[in-house]
Amino acid sequence: MGKGFSCCNEIIEWVRDNIPKGSIILELGSGRGSTQHLCNDYNLYSVEHEKRWMNKFDSIYIYAPIKNGFYDIDILKEKLPNEYALILVDGPPRKIDGKKIGRKGFGENLNIFNTDCIIIFDDSDRGRERKLIASVCEQLGREVIHYKGHDHRGKGTYFAVMAKEKKDGV
Ligand SMILES: C[S@@+](CC[C@H](N)C(=O)[O-])C[C@H]1O[C@@H](n2cnc3c(N)ncnc32)[C@H](O)[C@@H]1O
């Protein structure tokens, strides 16, 4: 089980450059990338569907198994903090136990999140993620900027950052 699951270093750098230390960050999907590298400087909440990835790092973990194609939303409704400076969308994984899951549930359940914050989408060059981003942009009336990163093998990868402001700057 390798580094292929971790977000790219450029996401970590972007967060460090743009989100003040000590801010609350909510991430969907934990691991050795984002969780390990952000937990010391931020007040990090990690939504995690898999028990074996729980409590590996110094984050506040929210255990939410997959239900109806997304993290169990009743658990999220009960456990999510009220406010956060950033949501990092990096889970659930594309396939779980051979079943297609992916991150589209985020776009289908936007109302349970406080979206008045910056949102980062990992892997923004992938087809499914592009669809998700387009749907969230439309629902929230906001835009993203795509940034290039590099995976652990040095291969180009992308992530998208959605600013807090709406398209017209409101
Ligand atoms: C894309 S990963 C999340 C990665 C995390 N944001 C990071 O940067 O480390 C999505 C899910 O895969 C699982 N996972 C995390 N690291 C893994 C690894 N090294 N190998 C296999 N599964 C992993 C966890 O259940 C996690 O919620």
Residue 170 lies in a domain: no
Q: Note whether residue 169 is domain-resident.
A: no
Number of domains observed in the structure of the chain: 1
Would residue 4 count as lying in a domain? no
53-71: pLDDT as tens digits: 999 999 999 999 999 999 9
Which residues form the domain of 70?
9-162
Asked if residue 1 is part of any domain, the answer here is no
Residue-level pLDDT at 170: 58
Judge whether 167 lies within some domain.
no
User: Cα–Cα distances in Å, from 145 out to 48, 52, 86, 126, 159?
Assistant: 26, 34, 15, 15, 8
Say if ligand 1 is within 6 A of residue 151 CB.
no
Residue 140 alpha carbon to ligand 1 centre in Å: 27
Tell me if 5 CB under 6 Å of ligand 1. Answer: yes
CA of 149 to the centre of ligand 1 (A): 18
Please report whether residue 168 resides in a domain.
no
**18 in a structural domain:** yes
Nearest atom of ligand 1 to the alpha carbon of 7:
8
Please report, for the domain that includes residue 121, its CATH number.
3.40.50.150
Mean pLDDT of the chain: 96
Q: What is the pTM of this model?
A: 0.97
Flag whether pLDDT at 168 surpasses 80: no
Residue 82 belongs to some domain of the structure:
yes
Q: How far apart are CA 131 and CA 56, in angstroms?
A: 31
